[in-house]
A and B are shown apart, each in its own frame.
Chain A
Amino acid sequence: MNPGQNDIIILMVVAPLFASIIVPIVGWRAKKLCYSLTILAVLISLFSSLITAKTVMNHGPVQYYLGGWKPPWGIEFYIDHLNAFIAVVVTFISFLGVIFSKTNVENDLPNKEGAFYSLFLLLITGLLGIVLTGDMFNLFVFLEVASLSSYALIAMGEKGAMYASFRYLLIGTVGASWYMLGVGYLYIVTGSLNMANLSELLPALYQSKTILVGFAFILFGVGIKMALFPLHAWLPDAYTYAPSAVSAMVAPLMTKVMIYVVIRVIFTVFQPEFTVDMIQATSILSWFGVLAILFGGIMALSQTDFKRMLCYIIVGEIGYIVGGVGIANATALKGAIFHILNDALMMVCLFFVAGMVMYRKKGHRISDFKGIFREMPFAAIIFTVGALAVIGVPPTGGFFSKWYLLLGGIEAKHWGFVVALLISTLINVALFARVFDKGLYVHGHGSDHSSESTDHSSGTLVQKTPLSMWIPAVIVILAILLAGIFNQAILKNIVQFAVPSGL
């Protein structure tokens, strides 16, 4: 393949990278320009990821040698269907997140636009790097780029965010260190850091205790970062107090990208015969998934704060995906990978709603949602779509990924997972019914029933939510619906091939 042909791949990472360098300097002179530059960079990234995905769909996996060095010695980007898909998800959600961030930054972080957008772009760069790289240690570096920027971004939220972010930093650093330790254990017995190379070298060493421990620590480390129960303790605080633009972006993406890493490690670096058959890591993982689903659901029920409730829903959703990965048959894995897309979309949607309510009502407790169907009918529609997707009502995308997860669970006779999924569906109904009730029923018993007039006041308020908030929200609900309606197109063209061949 001629070297210039795949240059577009590297743009995905380099565009936000260059923008992040330039933005702080530009911020001194023209604050407005930061926003446009950021959008431009992410847009380039988005296009690049789409083109890459198309290339992968047409020609199979693509490699990009950085510095022109061949893999075991140099670093490569290795893009197959799995990470092409995740990269599109990441760039797409980031694009929406950046558009959404405008008002939040202007209002809450005056004079720091440059630094904010720079960190935002670095976060995107880091996440994309994690997704694209084919080198275990390079992944760690990207992980740190993404983590450091997310610590800083989260810390600039409401009161309490500092401490939450600090805890996240401690736990996250330990997690990243464990990941690095695990990589070290693999390195000491194989001498390689390249994923593809490792997967060739490892089968000979599957009996080694070192490999086992290395694998375990990689999983622990990544487990912390993706907040898999019981390593999730940092997540609710961090994402609850973060600025709404940040949580709308970090919450859906960070955990999903880490799940991608898990899939990579379990099915590419190690082969299914090791992880699934020899040490049964996946079946253990699937039970953690079950626990996460149940725990996330129950904890979410007891929250009075909307964002915190969403955080526990995320914990549960991670359980869905991890469970699907753990079941480790093609159907469930298809569902899990597809759910990464759906979950990212619906979480970004709900966090957008939280941001809009925060913007209008200066709070994100469930009680702040009182009457939103009248006052902010637009946000209410978005909320409804997001909620339906989380519950898994067709024709939203959430239903179809759940369908595959359930189908896979039944095929594998993993009844615990199936039951947990179904219970969690019901819990989600209860969760959103609460918010829904608050938003929809404002009259209550005994209040005046002649309130036909209040129906009329809703029109003028719509304009108050700025354009930069509702454009991404509209895009995201359309995406949720389209992901559902065209799920076959997505599954047949890309997700299906993302499933490792060994299953």
Chain B
Amino acid sequence: MKNKRYAIVLDTKKCLNCKACTVACKFENFVPVGDDTYRIWVTELPLQGKFPHLHQEYQTSQCQHCENAPCEKVCPTKATFTTPEGVVLVDYKKCILCKACMTACPYDARFVSEHHESVEKCTFCMHRVSEGREPACVETCPVRVREFGDLNDPNSKVSRLLSSRPYLQLKPEKNTRPRLFYVL
């Protein structure tokens, strides 16, 4: 059997800016309250146009689970590693809080966690996924901005979305090859 290749596909055009995902993530993953502690976030992109012809979008973002992960490369203790499914994780016990990874990350997706006494970030909720449950942010979203699944399975929702719709990835110039895909 083939390896799984996990990914998240986002249809941010649907996003209501309701922030359900960010709160769900905090409780699920013991992310403390605080403006600097978050694994995922929702940004109001700049308002376009002049009254009354306006346009606005909201963009959810997080760790991009890069196939070519800069954070992993700079980690002196190999605390950051990639699973066979392509999920970039941190071994909290190995982290020495040097923050090199935080500097290296082009997506500002890492923070220092008091709870784990480590630098941490999105894990794709692997503890849930291993039990057959969806990541907390995927599950709680009213409009299902995110879909999570296996790129190696042509019938998975993520594969079908990517084969049927154009998409872009964040900061392609960094050559990070993210596992997050934003469909248009």
Q: Are both chains from one complex?
A: no
